[in-house]
Amino acid sequence: MTKDDPRPRVVFDCMIFLQATANESGPAAALLRLVDRNVLSLFVSREILDEVRDVLSRSKIWKKNPDITRERVDALMIRVSDKAAIVDFIPQHFSYERDPKDEKYINLAIEVEADYLISRDQDLLDLMTGHDDVCKDFRRRFRSLKIIGPVEYLKSVESEESNGEIAQQ
């Protein structure tokens, strides 16, 4: 995935992977299908892949989401490894005291010059709308990165497709 690749560059947070695995007809699964169709360039890190596997292997998650099975987790990991660009080294571009666990997603998105970080995590989404100094600084420093929810992103893709802006893959 080179810089001249016209596809939007995206990073998904862990919850997107969890929701895609738990519900194949939901918005998160639709995002993965866009990756499968080569509409999106997905970026992940080894740390993120480890977190996804860890979260999706928890018995608490399986009890809450009976559709998540070891086979589905394995299939997701293979699918993501096959389709995503895996970034091995991610420098610390941004420190987020409000939720340090989110830094791996933010810093990956900054490092790969992603267009979008797609998440339902309110701490991440607040970086786009918050009025505190941290949020304002983030928007000033990383103007091209948008953090949005999966439904909002899918609506923008539908709008672009209906306008003929995305070539059929």
Question: CATH number, domain at 66?
Answer: 3.40.50.1010
> Domain residues for 144?
9-162
Is 126 a member of any domain?
yes
pLDDT confidence tier of residue 168, bands split at 50, 70 and 90:
very low
Query: How confident is the model over 130-156, as pLDDT tens digits?
Result: 999 999 999 999 999 999 999 999 998
Over residues 22-50, the mean pLDDT reads 95
Is 169 a member of any domain?
no
Which bin fits 164, alpha (ψ -120 to 50), beta or left (φ > 0)?
left
Is 72 a member of any domain?
yes
Domain count, the chain: 1
Is 128 a member of any domain?
yes
- The pLDDT mean for the chain works out to 91
User: Distance between CA atoms of 108 and 115, rounded to whole angstroms?
Assistant: 12
Is 3 a member of any domain?
no
Q: Judge whether residue 12 has pLDDT over 50.
A: yes
Q: Judge whether residue 5 has pLDDT over 90.
A: no
Is 1 a member of any domain?
no
Q: Judge whether residue 127 has pLDDT over 90.
A: yes
Q: Judge whether residue 126 has pLDDT over 50.
A: yes
Q: Judge whether residue 92 has pLDDT over 50.
A: yes
Q: Judge whether residue 31 has pLDDT over 80.
A: yes
Say how many Å lie between the first and final Cα of the chain, rounded.
16
Q: Judge whether residue 169 has pLDDT over 90.
A: no
Is 106 a member of any domain?
yes
Is 77 a member of any domain?
yes
Q: Judge whether residue 67 has pLDDT over 50.
A: yes
Q: Judge whether residue 49 has pLDDT over 60.
A: yes
pLDDT confidence of residue 3: 64
